[in-house]
Structure 1
């Protein structure tokens, strides 16, 4: 039997990158999947690819009215959630001096406020024994110049998972974290980089990763599936690094 047969799964930010790769895998494993995103065109394209087992709901996770509408639609149509992948997020860099209040608000509204209130709105719909996976980042284990706000936002959601794990454990709801390393997704280009700069970035960071390459979204999706399925039934409050060794053994193989 497939690992998610009969399960209802929500993936925020499921219209591209890691979220879309995870949606593909969840559908293959028998789940009914709800994906969200802010761009209607990519949502439509994702649903066309995923087929009848997918539903797309345009949602800005930084907007509480959007979240309320999303979960009301899920409640009315499905009545419950068995899996939630809190994945929606943005990466925008800036040095200490170049960062503005607007940048701070944008990063934290999506990455932290969005994650927290996604969980708050989802909790009444979570079935006992449900699984929640929150997407953080390996950057919380290493200093990266120009990524202070992003790293701080991802450290916040890692701690959020610890606390929610304890809060929801009485209902046997497991909350865990996947922390990807450098992954080939559109998130880098959305930060304003040109195609040439994106390739230069991945070429540079590949030299820092012990496995000497960035991850593919499908590799992260497999880790999410593990945490979302009964394969991880005794795993709770944990963080799974999927980063080619970067966060554990360090850049260029130098132990941390």
Structure 2
């Protein structure tokens, strides 16, 4: 594999499973040194073992600003800089209008909006000129979904961040792009309160809506993130890259 990220230092939030873990593996295979964060130590330990080399795991919750300070301090102490930031950590739960609680709202916005914003802002001093920031949004940024209005609103905010931060950071030549995955089964689906059987039924119900007639894989998303992190995308800035098999494009 060509080392498209040779010598680069990257931080991936939520890098202990799913898309984050697949991306961490791709980054290391592409020559980068990677820091990953997650809330569960056992999951982080398993991720480090799977990645195998050039990785440091830091336990922390992106919605906790003290945790974010500690993450940035460790990156600065160990590597002194960041060339790539993949703000990937996110949270999702179903709640139809009429049953949305303040607790639900706060949980989703604190992780997906507040956490993402302060992840990027606190990492800014470490980001090199010409660095790449990738934000994990969702096809929900443009597509309605039953019982996911709060989650969808957070992902629309993420897309807006990419547009605005592209301008805020232009003097430093830092590129900011968003990815919007479609249906990509990950362990996060189970965290929505769904059983394995319910996840499978959901996936099957969505497949017919995808022109490629299949769901995506975390590694397919990871390969797109590698592109946005590398010099191959040196003139790509401020976009929302849909990785959804065409689901939100028709």
Query: Which residue of 1 is the match for residue 48 of structure 2?
Result: 47
Q: CA deviation at 1:213?
A: 1.2
- Residue 88 in 1 paired to residue 94 in 2? no
Moved over 2 A (4+): none
Q: CA-to-partner distance for each residue in 1:44-92, whole Å, 9 max, x for gaps? A: 0000111230100001000000000110111111100000000000111
User: C-alpha separation between the residues in 1 aligned to 2:57 and 2:86?
Assistant: 14
User: C-alpha separation between the residues in 2 aligned to 1:98 and 1:44?
Assistant: 37
User: C-alpha separation between the residues in 1 aligned to 2:47 and 2:144?
Assistant: 34
Query: Which residue of 2 is the match for residue 193 of structure 1?
Result: 194
Q: CA-to-partner distance for each residue in 1:96-155, whole Å, 9 max, x for gaps? A: 111100000000000000000001101000000100000000112211110100000000
TM, length-normalised to structure 2: 0.98
User: C-alpha separation between the residues in 2 aligned to 1:63 and 1:78?
Assistant: 23
TM, length-normalised to structure 1: 0.96
- Residue 155 in 1 paired to residue 150 in 2? no
User: C-alpha separation between the residues in 2 aligned to 1:103 and 1:213?
Assistant: 31
User: C-alpha separation between the residues in 1 aligned to 2:4 and 2:161?
Assistant: 27
User: C-alpha separation between the residues in 2 aligned to 1:110 and 1:139?
Assistant: 16
**Structure 2 segments unaligned to the other structure (5+ residues):** none
Report the secondary structure of 1:247's partner residue.
Answer: coil
- Residue 137 in 1 paired to residue 138 in 2? yes
Report the secondary structure of 2:241's partner residue.
Answer: strand
How many residues are paired up?
Answer: 249
Query: Which residue of 2 is the match for residue 19 of structure 1?
Result: 20
CA RMSD, 1 decimal: 0.7
Do the aligned residues in 1 keep the contact of 2:28 with 2:53 (CA within 8 Å)?
Answer: no
Map 1:66-145 onto structure 2 (within 5 A).
66-145=67-146
Do the aligned residues in 1 keep the contact of 2:134 with 2:179 (CA within 8 Å)?
Answer: yes
Report the secondary structure of 1:170's partner residue.
Answer: helix
